[in-house]
Every structure is written in structure tokens, then in C-alpha cells.
Amino acid sequence: MKILVTGGLGFIGSHVVVELQNEGFEVVIVDNLSNSTLDVLDGITKITGKKPIFEKLDLREKNAVSNLFSTYKDIYGVIHFAASKAVGESVENPLLYYENNLNSLIYILQELQKKDKAHFIFSSSCTVYGQADSLPITESAPIKPAESPYGNTKQIGEEIIKDTCRVSDNLQAIALRYFNPIGSHESLQIGELPTGTPQNLVPFITQTAIGLREKLAVFGNDYPTEDGTCIRDYIHVVDLAKAHVAALKRLIENKSATNFDYFNIGTGTGSSVLEVIKTFEEVSDQKLNYQIVARREGDVIAAYADTEKANNVLGWQAKLSLKDALSSAWQWEQKIRK
Ligand code: NAD
Ligand code: WQD
């Protein structure tokens, strides 16, 4: 079976391609290299021994998307990672995000509507919940007003898919709401490659530890949590990747009562910023230079997943620990800075 992976040279997409190939799927990667490089294709090939088909293409170009589906008529499913994902940038440049994240989604769905049968997996985010009213967060938690245009593109994206599925019996879709993906593949052939100043905690930690950054700013320790810092559900990117294979198999078996479903993908455990720092210091055997500073606007106090639905319906659960993920992130940072 041929699976189209958009954004497949990105952080999460590349790890999913490895797991798809390990499961015997044939993969076509589409990526415009706006936030990745062709080296990732070599990394994937070194891990699996199988070079995915690669098409350099910008999914904002409607004709290019249509030609892609004419070329690969036997695409059985699409896993859609391609998007812009920097929250802060989305506030500064909302139209870039609405154009890139929504137009590409619409053009792909228009092509899938033409097929006899189509399977679609969407990269969503726990950001759709905002600050949930209760924890752990279940899929029935209300969707809160988005805190950023980026978060809004995920909410609107899910609505677009839901409305399309309602009128497209040929389409089966799943949205996976990722919590906080971190870490890298054990082979150290692929991992997270943040461009510029990292927005996320773990790449900032590893870049501080290796000396690229002077110190980590901890955004607030006056939150109503045990140690005053925010709590998140950090999931190893390889566990997250395996959840995509489980979701694809769910679509293939076609036993769902609905043709649009959604799942929280996390570990089910929350960790505070200071706990992450402490765990990192253990795995790296070095003290991390950090300073408590003011809160970051838009941060929610705590978010961690209730994973029961993914466990029971997808038959998937996270197996790797925070320690495993931080250790792999640290090894990856050391490798790419050699
Ligand atoms: P990434 O930036 O590493 O990967 C995205 C890939 O898509 C990149 O390789 C980029 O070049 C490509 N791309 C972007 N726009 C494109 C376009 N118009 N045409 C073709 N290719 C395009 O990001 P990631 O962390 O791997 O995230 C993948 C998906 O998961 C995104 O949709 C993101 O919103 C979502 N997500 C990420 C996180 C996270 O913390 N990383 C959390 C929740 C959801
Ligand atoms: C985690 C915690 C920060 C950096 C974001 C997006 C979300 C998704 C995942 C795309 C928070 C603290 C961070 C730093 C810090 N991305 N922190 N110093 O904010 O939970 O989620 O990435 O979909 O949409 O919102 O992740 O890693 O930025 O922050 O203290 O230099 O670490 O305050 O509590 P977040 P994060």
C-alpha cells in the first residue's frame, strides 16, 4: 500500500515514515523543504534500507497537488504533516499560517474526494483544548478559543475535515491531537532540527547544555502547580510515530462507526518544566544553566492527556519514558554539533 506523507522530511513526519516502512508500507514523501533538508531522506534510508519516493512540491500550489495525485493514482492514504508550526510567528504573520496550513489541507482533501476510497490522518494538537477545565484531558473536553492563529489553523483544519467527511462517504479520516513530542530515533540518523532560536523547551535545553545558548529561561515559577512551573505531557517522537501506524491500521480495518474520529496522543503523564530539567541533568550528567523569568504569554498551566481512547480503540500506548526521550534528544544534539 502506497501512503503519501506530506511534510515527511520534518521532525515528526520523518519518524513516521520510518515506522511505515518498517510495517511494509510504500511511502511517497512530499515536502517543499521550507523547514527541512534532503539529508533527512538519507537518514530515513540509512535506518530502513529503503529510500522513499520523494517529490519536492509546495502544497499551496493547487495544480501541483492535482498533478501529484494524477501521477500517483494508487495513493491509498495520506498522512498530512505539512504546515507551519511556530506559535509566535503565527501571531506576527497570521496570513502565512492560514494560507499554508489551510490551503494545503483543502487541496489535498479535494483530491481525496475524487478517489473511490481514501484514508486521511491529520496532525492536530492538544493546543485545540487551550487550558482544559479538567485533567487529564479527554477527547470530549471542549475546544477553547484558540490562543494563536497557529492553534486556530488546527481547530479550523479539524472542522474542515469533519465537514468534508460528512459529505464524502469514500473518505475515512482521523485527527491525532499530539501533546508535546520530543526526542529522536535511537539510530541518531533523524531527529529534531529546529531552525534559528528554538521555540520549544527541549531543544532549548539541549542547545544550552551543549553551549550553543548561554542559559535556559524558565518562563515563570508562580503557577498553581507543585513546583510553580507549567506541566506538559512530553511524548517520545517514536511513540508518537507508532500511533500513526496504529491510526492508519484503524482506518484500513474500517470498523469505525464514524468516518471522522480524533484521538489524544500523549503519555498520560504530566511533567513540570523543573522536572524536565532535573531529568535532563540526570541523563546528561551535567548541571543545566537556567534562570526563572516572567511567564510567557499564552502558556497554559497544565496539559496532559487521558489516553484511554487511543489505548482502547487504536490499541496503542506510549512505551518510552521521559528519560528515554531526553536521553535521545541529548545524544542527537551532540551528534549534530560534532
Ligand atoms: P516540521 O516543521 O519539522 O515539519 C513540517 C514539514 O512540512 C517540514 O519538512 C516543511 O518543510 C514541510 N512543509 C511546510 N509547509 C509545506 C508546504 N506548503 N508544502 C510542502 N511541505 C511543507 O514540523 P513537525 O514538528 O514535524 O510537525 C509536523 C506536524 O505536526 C505539523 O502539522 C505541526 O503543526 C503538527 N504538530 C507538531 C507539534 C510539535 O510540537 N512539533 C505538536 C503538535 C502538532
Ligand atoms: C513547554 C513548557 C513553556 C521554552 C508548543 C505549541 C504547541 C505544540 C507544541 C505545535 C511551557 C516552557 C519553553 C523555554 C520554558 N506545537 N518553556 N522555556 O508551549 O506546550 O506547546 O509546542 O503544535 O502548539 O504551543 O511547548 O516546548 O514551547 O513549552 O520555560 O525556552 O516549557 O513555558 O511551560 P508548548 P513548549
Return the C-alpha cell found at 22. 518498517
Count of domains observed in the chain: 2
The confidence score (pLDDT) of residue 338 equals: 83
Q: Are 240 and 139 in a shared domain?
A: yes
pLDDT tens, per residue, the chain with 338 residues: 999 999 999 999 999 999 999 999 999 999 999 999 999 999 999 999 999 999 999 999 999 999 999 999 999 999 999 999 999 999 999 999 999 999 999 999 999 999 999 999 999 999 999 999 999 999 999 999 999 999 999 999 999 999 999 999 999 999 999 999 999 999 999 999 888 889 999 999 999 999 999 999 999 999 999 999 999 999 999 999 999 999 999 999 988 889 999 999 999 999 999 999 999 999 999 999 999 999 999 999 999 999 999 999 999 999 999 999 999 999 999 999 98
Q: Whose CA is nearest to atom 35 of ligand 1?
A: 123
Spatial distance between the Cα atoms of 76 and 72, rounded to a whole number of angstroms: 10
The confidence score (pLDDT) of residue 127 equals: 96
Q: Is residue 195 part of a domain?
A: no
- Domain boundary among the residues 265, 280, 310 is at 265
Spatial distance between the Cα atoms of 171 and 151, rounded to a whole number of angstroms: 25
Q: Are 104 and 227 in a shared domain?
A: no
Q: Is residue 322 part of a domain?
A: yes
299 lines ligand 2 (CB under 6 A): yes
Q: Is residue 25 part of a domain?
A: yes
85 lines ligand 1 (CB under 6 A): yes
Q: Are 94 and 175 in a shared domain?
A: yes
- Active-site residue set: 150
Q: Which ligand is nearest to the CA of 125?
A: 1
User: Which atom of ligand 2 is closest in space to residue 85's alpha carbon?
Assistant: 10
The confidence score (pLDDT) of residue 196 equals: 85
Q: Is residue 188 part of a domain?
A: no
Q: Are 168 and 312 in a shared domain?
A: no
Q: Are 150 and 245 in a shared domain?
A: yes
Q: Is residue 142 part of a domain?
A: yes
What predicted TM-score, i.e. pTM, was given to this entire model?
A: 0.98
Q: Are 287 and 314 in a shared domain?
A: yes
Return the C-alpha cell found at 9. 522530511
Q: Are 177 and 278 in a shared domain?
A: no
What range defines the domain where residue 315 resides? 201-232+268-331
The confidence score (pLDDT) of residue 195 equals: 82
Return the C-alpha cell found at 279. 531529568
Tell me, what CATH number does 308's domain have? 3.90.25.10
Q: Are 294 and 304 in a shared domain?
A: yes
Q: Is residue 162 part of a domain?
A: yes
Give Cβ neighbours of residue 67 (< 8 Å, ≥ 6 apart): none
Q: Are 135 and 70 in a shared domain?
A: yes
Q: Is residue 27 part of a domain?
A: yes
Q: Are 80 and 129 in a shared domain?
A: yes
Shortest CA distance to 165 belongs to which of 129, 218, 112? 112
Q: 199 by DSSP, 3-state: which? A: coil
Ligand 2 pocket test target in 129, 264, 273 with most atoms within 8 Å of CB: 273
Q: Is residue 62 part of a domain?
A: yes
Q: Whose CA is nearest to atom 23 of ligand 2?
A: 125
For 137-167, the three-class secondary structure string (H helix, E strand, C coil) is: ECCCCCCCCCCCHHHHHHHHHHHHHHHHHHC
Helix and strand totals (H; E) in the chain = 12, 13
- Domain boundary among the residues 249, 265, 281 is at 265
Q: Are 225 and 327 in a shared domain?
A: yes
- Domain boundary among the residues 247, 265, 283 is at 265
Give CA separation, 191 vs 9, 49, 97, 106, 121, in Å: 10, 18, 24, 29, 21
User: Which atom of ligand 2 is closest in space to residue 127's alpha carbon?
Assistant: 24
Tell me, what CATH number does 115's domain have? 3.40.50.720
Render 1-63 in DSSP notation, one character per residue.
Answer: -EEEEETTTSHHHHHHHHHHHHTT-EEEEEE--SS--THHHHHHHHHHS-PPEEEE--TT-HH
Q: Are 119 and 177 in a shared domain?
A: yes
